[in-house]
Amino acid sequence: MNGKIPVVAVVGPTASGKSALAVELALRFNGEVVSADSMQIYRNVPVGTAQPSEPEKKGIPHHMVAFQNLDEPFSVADYVERAAQCIAGIDSRGKLPILAGGTGLYVRSLLENIQFSEQESNPELRRQLTERANQEGAESLWKELENLDPACAKQVDSGNIKRVVRALELYYTTGMQLEERLALSRSVPSPYLPFKIGLNFRNRASLYERIDRRVDWMLEHGLLEEAEQVLRLPPEITARQAIGYKEFDAYFSGEQTLRQAAECLKRESRRYAKRQLTWFRREKELHWLYVDDFTAPEALFEQAAREVKSFFGTLDTKKEAQVNE
């Protein structure tokens, strides 16, 4: 493997079954899971962020989950630095790192070893953009971002003030679109040899049904209580703008019924899933598995395991022996 660390990445839209597949692969290949989800990093909100429960983890160590306070900033650069440390530790223990999540920018930045610069930060510009967002609304600034950097806009929730502002800050500070910045930041070769599995559905309605069921389950298991906690935060806080919580603003203010708020959350989650798929379809060397091609989850798990074994089995290394155990 030329000294590179083998990494399995399981990506795809929300509610597609990434966490379950990652655990099953970890069980088969002596692995540990590293989350690549920008919301699962937060403490005390396991329901709305779909953090795997202890029974769902099946004894597999999980990293990059529930370690950050809701009101603390956390950037892509922070993620890459911490996740890289986790992967190095997993590899040093002779185990296989398994990356799992739907935040495409996290996955790409980590696996391609994107280098971040302090020059990309401009606090005064950020303050001005935040003031504009509060006055004009995030949607107005998002449309500005869409005109300037369409690819970036597709990855940013139009209602998330902090992320819209950050995206515009990066554009105006560097004068470059997201793809240009990424190209220039690949100055250091990646230390990873990734095998990327993407989960998808041939029938989009099947994915949407899973999303709807997940929202219903969340509401039955404490989502409203979490939303009430999160919505007390200042509007510029990232978690405050996240899908899963901001949709209940109108419910708590008495402008909507709970049913209306829930339908809004389902609709926004479906839109988010479409944006995730748009991002991952552009990823190179992504091996797609269609969940609705399989009659049972176990069949999907077995096919994914065969593909992982086939990929790493072509490489004459100690890790090959581990993967082929």
Note whether 253 and 79 are within 8 A (CB).
no
**Coil, strand or helix: which one is 72?**
coil
Residue 15 marked ligand-binding: yes
Q: What tokens does 159 get?
A: 């209602």
The answer to whether 183 is annotated as binding is no
Query: Hey, what's the torsion of the CAs at 210, 216, 222, 228, to 10 degrees?
Result: 100
- Compute the distance between CA of residue 189 and CA of residue 102 in angstroms, rounded to an integer: 24
Is 18 annotated to bind a ligand? Reply is yes
For 188-191, the CB contacts below 8 A with 24+ separation are 188/113, 188/115, 189/113, 190/4, 190/111, 190/112, 190/113, 191/3, 191/4, 191/5, 191/84, 191/113
Report yes or no: 48 and 38 within 8 Å, Cβ to Cβ.
no
Spell out the residues 6+ positions from residue 20 whose beta carbon is closer than 8 angstroms to its own: 56, 297
DSSP characters for 205-225? HHHHHHHHHHHHHHHHTTHHH
Q: Is 14 annotated as a binding residue?
A: yes
Q: Is 13 annotated as a binding residue?
A: yes
How buried is residue 202: exposed, middle or buried, by Cβ count under 10 Å (0-12/13-18/19+)? exposed
Closest by alpha carbon to 195, among 96, 119, 116? 96
3-state helix, strand, coil in the chain (%, to 5): 55, 10, 35
16 known ligand binder: yes
114/184 Cα distance (integer angstroms)? 9
Query: Residues within the annotated binding site for ATP?
Result: 12-19
Mark the binding-site residues for substrate, compressed into ranges: 14-19
Output the known binding site. 12-19
